[in-house]
């Protein structure tokens, strides 16, 4: 079984900061209060849990279609993501490279520009890739009067749009620093990944008065174990091998909606840690520049 991340003390501080920033950004949204069961909520990962493949990869496709990102860059990004999946492990250097490339991509752009692009590309590239089974699970929680939040390394701007389009409560995502409506090229803490997701869930629970022992969480990835074990009712959705083994060992519910397309879906980029701020989208650009430099 894969080991979880060997975070340093500095990483732990950055993870907590990322979680607090995500919860604070969520609090800034106009969320309609739910009174039927205000102390319980469900938290859903996005990539390969709610949406087939990686949301950032689909966003990159949309950028390429709009001539903002080349198809060559997209191909390099896809190859890097597939290699990452086949390797079956993540490392801090890989995520750091993706983060730096992503921040370089958004630095100097206006928030409203990115939000507009996210709205267009979701409708064009992502809406028909939602797992209906996972959405049904989310709606079940809504019908019970509980809040439903997305928790993802994807930029919070894109995560919010996915949440809004699906009628969910809100989203916790990676937060980029802005000044006067323009991205500075820096993150607030780390990417919202691994332990940072758990920190965001805990922070939101404090803000919303949630009882985490009554909350549920859903993910496809063993890397989300910190989030899954933060709540009282963890679920595995379209799980990778390590998470499936862990779920079976601990008698967690397992939901698999991949059916006949299972092999194809597993082969798609999974994003995970590289689903950064307009995420690993710019990773292909960074790789190309690196090779040119050599």
**∠151-260-244 over CA atoms, to 5°?**
45
Annotated active-site residue 220? The verdict is: no
Answer whether 265's CB lies under 8 Å from 48's CB.
yes
Higher pLDDT, 67 or 264: 67
Starting at the edge strand found earlier in the chain, the sheet holding 147-155 runs 170-174, 147-155, 41-44, 216-219, 233-237, 254-255
Tokens for 36, please give them: 């039927």
Annotated active-site residue 211? The verdict is: no
- The pLDDT, as a whole number, for residue 68 is 67
The secondary structure element, H or E, covering residue 44 is strand 41-44
Handedness of CA 282, 285, 289, 294 (dihedral sign): positive
pLDDT in tens, 198-217: 999 999 999 999 999 999 99
Tokens for 63, please give them: 């950028």
pLDDT in tens, 101-140: 556 667 788 888 888 888 888 888 888 899 999 999 999 9
What is the percent of the chain with per-residue pLDDT over 90, rounded to a whole number?
38
**What is the C-alpha to C-alpha distance for residues 33 and 36, in angstroms, rounded to an integer?**
9
- The pLDDT, as a whole number, for residue 294 is 40
Does domain 10-255 fall under CATH 3.40.50.1000? My reply is: yes
Q: Tell me the domain boundaries of the chain.
A: 10-255
**What is the C-alpha to C-alpha distance for residues 55 and 278, in angstroms, rounded to an integer?**
10
**What is the C-alpha to C-alpha distance for residues 69 and 89, in angstroms, rounded to an integer?**
27
Identify the three-state secondary structure at position 29.
coil
Taking residue 58's Cβ as centre, other Cβ atoms within 10 Å add up to 24
Answer whether 98's CB lies under 8 Å from 274's CB.
yes
Catalytic residue, chosen from 45, 73, 220, 224, is 45
Average pLDDT over residues 149-170: 91
**What is the C-alpha to C-alpha distance for residues 135 and 130, in angstroms, rounded to an integer?**
7
**What is the C-alpha to C-alpha distance for residues 57 and 72, in angstroms, rounded to an integer?**
13
pLDDT in tens, 25-35: 775 454 555 55
Catalytic residue, chosen from 47, 73, 220, 240, is 47
pTM: 0.76
């Amino acid at each position: 079984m894969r080991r979880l991340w060997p975070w340093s003390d500095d990483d732990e501080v950055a993870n907590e900061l990322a979680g607090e920033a995500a919860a604070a950004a969520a609090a800034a949204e106009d969320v309609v209060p739910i009174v039927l069961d205000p102390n319980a909520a469900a938290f859903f990962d996005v990539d390969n849990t709610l949406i087939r493949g990686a949301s950032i990869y689909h966003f990159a496709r949309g950028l390429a279609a709009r001539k903002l990102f080349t198809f060559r860059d997209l191909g390099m990004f896809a190859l890097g993501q597939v290699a990452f999946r086949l390797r079956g492990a993540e490392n801090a250097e890989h995520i750091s490279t993706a983060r730096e490339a992503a921040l370089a991509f958004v630095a100097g752009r206006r928030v409203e520009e990115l939000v507009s692009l996210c709205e267009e590309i979701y409708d064009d590239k992502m809406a028909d890739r939602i797992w209906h089974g996972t959405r049904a699970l989310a709606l079940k929680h809504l019908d019970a009067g509980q809040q439903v939040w997305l928790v993802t390394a994807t930029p919070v701007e894109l995560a919010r749009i996915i949440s809004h389009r699906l009628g969910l409560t809100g989203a916790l995502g990676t937060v980029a620093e802005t000044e006067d409506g323009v991205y500075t090229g820096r993150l607030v803490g780390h990417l919202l990944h691994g332990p940072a997701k758990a920190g965001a869930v805990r922070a939101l629970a404090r803000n919303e008065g949630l009882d985490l022992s009554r909350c549920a969480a859903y993910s496809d990835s063993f890397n989300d174990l910190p989030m899954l074990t933060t709540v009282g009712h963890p679920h595995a959705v379209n799980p990778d091998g390590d998470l499936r083994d862990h779920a079976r060992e601990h008698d967690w519910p397992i939901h698999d909606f991949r059916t006949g397309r299972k092999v194809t879906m597993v082969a798609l980029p999974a994003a995970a840690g590289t689903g950064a701020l307009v995420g690993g989208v710019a990773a292909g650009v960074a790789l190309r520049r690196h090779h040119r430099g050599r």
